[in-house]
Amino acid sequence: MDETMYKYGRLGTLEQKRVQTNGIEVPRNDIRVLLLHPQRGEDFQVRCDLVYLNLSDPHPPPFYALSYCWGKEEPKFPISLNGREHWVHPNLFDALQRLRDRDDVAGRFIWIDALCINQNDKEEKGSQVNLMGEIYEKASKTFIWLGEHEHASPLAMDLLNSVTEENLRDMLEDKSESKPTEQAWVALRALFERPYWSRVWILQEVVLSRPSYLICGNSMCSWDSVRLLLRSENFEVDKKNISVGSHNARMAVVSESILPKLLVNIIDGRQTNAQKLEFWDYLVLSRQRNASVAHDYVYGVMALVDPPALRADYKKPVGELYFEVVKRLLCLEKKIGILSMCCETQVEDRATPHAAAVVGGEPGTSYATSLPSWVPDWRTRFKKDYQSRLLCKLKYSAGMAGPDTQPDIECEAGSRTLRVRGVFVDSVTFVSPANNLNRWPQVGEDWKTWTQHISGSGNMYGSLEEQREAFRSTLQCQYHGNKTRNTDGSDQYFDIAVGRTEGSLVDPKRTFGKAGRQFFGTSNGYMGRGLDDVQAGDIAVVLLGAKVPFVLRECGHNSHYRLVGECYLHGIMNGEVVKDPTKELVDFYLV
């Protein structure tokens, strides 16, 4: 990359001038924008110039912004930038060609991160990333580039362009004369599965932009069409199907969730101040997306918080960034729920070209070893289905979560040890084999093991029928919170599992969930479910202000523990131990 391309002097006005090559670094609140020139006759080369404008100017010239996926790096294609040859990734090259061919874009300013930010200058990159929220908010339009047409994608774009408030219901109920075909709905699913939707950055780029337009090949449609369709009561999305009214167009698995639907919900919530998400909510969402730089799992969502939670600094080691963010959330904002994000995850190298990324500033550091157990590593994904089963999302209040009981948390300056106050509940004495709760014979064995275990120590649940109810509820913990127990066949399944009846009519995976939590028992007869990592000898605790209990593992001495993860412990999920006057509050030190 030609570094002189990104140097210029401070101009007195915002008139269109090429970037100077003998100047200074980008002034504060100044950004570069691209002047995309129309095609000249038979000259098909993409030609553009870098110009800068000041976001603080009361009347800045209008500019557009591009939201896109960087995609594959090779093969690179040449464009003319400030009269010099400059090589860009293939997906950006395609986008520039399509935008250049549009009369409403050619000859106008457009902001594109890969060209308008010097990606090799970490200091400048940080300062410009701090402005990205404002850039997308102030852009006259944001173009969402989904890539060139593939297969039936023109049908998907035609479908979206046909959506209006007047014809939406008829279209979804098959009453419209020009109703979309099933092939069009399948094409729409494919459009929503494109790599673009997996990016961290689109969370803020789409949410903050108004108006936005989707571009696929030579087709364009308004984001409002997507929003109108996905917020319709007749358009229901789940993990395995897109169901569209009575048409019921069944499709293959879409994804863990359709991100466009999520974006619509976020935008609606922000505009109505209903269900407004907080910084740690966005961090949870970012963990399931992709980023090319590990810092961006944090920086990619910070503009969604008002005021921004922090300032971007790409010189800061990733581990230090994650530590500082979580320390702030816990100690200053008292967001104790963030501890539920510390769990066994599916380690993926999504952020760097190295399997062992730079965590504490030194190459070769593993993903987790340099971070305290109470700091989530945002570069790792949750295991499949785990995010949707976080216990802290359910209506529990084990630590009396609410305004009357605040978390008692402290991390002294210079320390990586977190002090949290709570109640010791019990010690884990046995754990079922991992990943076996989706096989009914193992559930029966767990029941028998627990009944044998309590025969000598007593139990917390009363009669045999009450014990069965507790066991049944424990297996269902991740679905129901304190809601009414379901009637989807679990009674029959339980009876089969414990040998009370014969048969195999109920699917255990559907009833009690896929693998990811295992059954355990405690010394005083509690039963619970925790992560696959739970071991005999661990302790279960309830922390003040937390919705759910946690499992800790002693390491060293003096009440120092490693956080294993959240858990369900039947009988203490609604503040029972915190309200118990015989229970003593103690400090736990997490390392």
Comparing 352 with 161, the larger pLDDT belongs to 161
Comparing 153 with 465, the larger pLDDT belongs to 153
Rounded to an integer, the average pLDDT of 535-554 is: 96
Rounded to an integer, the average pLDDT of 414-438 is: 85
**CB-based burial of residue 148 (10 Å sphere; 0-12 exposed, 13-18 middle, 19+ buried)?**
middle
Residue 196 has pLDDT above 60, yes or no: yes
Predicted pLDDT of residue 344:
61
Q: Which secondary structure element, helix H or strand E, spans residue 65, and what is its range?
A: strand 63-67
**Longest pairwise C-alpha distance within the chain:** 90
Residue 567 has pLDDT above 70, yes or no: yes
Residue 249 has pLDDT above 50, yes or no: no
Comparing 29 with 99, the larger pLDDT belongs to 99
Which band of pLDDT confidence, cut at 50, 70 and 90, is reported for residue 531? confident
Question: Angle of helix 223-230 relative to helix 259-272, nearest 10 degrees?
Answer: 90
Residue 517 has pLDDT above 80, yes or no: no
Q: Lowest-pLDDT range, 153-162, 272-281, 347-356, 582-591?
A: 347-356
Q: Which residue shows structure tokens 């991160």?
A: 113
Comparing 464 with 57, the larger pLDDT belongs to 57
Q: Which residue intervals of 414-507 are DSSP H helices?
A: 440-457, 464-475, 477-480, 490-497
- The answer for residues whose C-beta is within 8 angstroms of residue 451's C-beta and 6 or more apart is 467
DSSP 105-162: TTTSEEE-HHHHS-TT-HHHHHHHHTTHHHHHHH-SEEEEEEES--TTHHHHHHHHHT
pLDDT cut 90: percent of the chain above it: 46
For the chain, the 3-state helix, strand and coil shares in percent, each to the nearest 5, are 30, 20, 50
pLDDT tens-digit map of 124-143: 999 999 999 999 999 999 99
Predicted pLDDT of residue 451:
74
Rounded to an integer, the average pLDDT of 228-247 is: 56
Q: How far apart are CA 83 and CA 78, in angstroms?
A: 12
Residue 576 has pLDDT above 90, yes or no: yes
Domain ranges of the chain: 1-139, 287-383, 418-590
Predicted pLDDT of residue 465:
81
Residue 12 has pLDDT above 60, yes or no: no
Comparing 584 with 366, the larger pLDDT belongs to 584
Rounded to an integer, the average pLDDT of 1-8 is: 45
Which band of pLDDT confidence, cut at 50, 70 and 90, is reported for residue 257? very low
pLDDT tens-digit map of 54-81: 999 888 899 999 999 999 888 999 999 9
Comparing 40 with 92, the larger pLDDT belongs to 92
pLDDT cut 70: percent of the chain above it: 73
pLDDT tens-digit map of 20-57: 433 335 567 899 999 999 987 777 899 999 998 999 98
Comparing 580 with 253, the larger pLDDT belongs to 580
Q: Lowest-pLDDT range, 495-499, 518-522, 582-586?
A: 495-499
Which band of pLDDT confidence, cut at 50, 70 and 90, is reported for residue 315? very high
**CB-based burial of residue 573 (10 Å sphere; 0-12 exposed, 13-18 middle, 19+ buried)?**
buried
What is the chain's mean pLDDT, rounded? 79
Predicted pLDDT of residue 434:
57
Q: Which residue intervals of 487-571 are DSSP H helices?
A: 490-497, 508-512
Which band of pLDDT confidence, cut at 50, 70 and 90, is reported for residue 86? very high
Comparing C-alpha atoms, which of 352, 360, 361 is closest to residue 380? 352
Predicted pLDDT of residue 170:
73
Residue 209 has pLDDT above 90, yes or no: yes
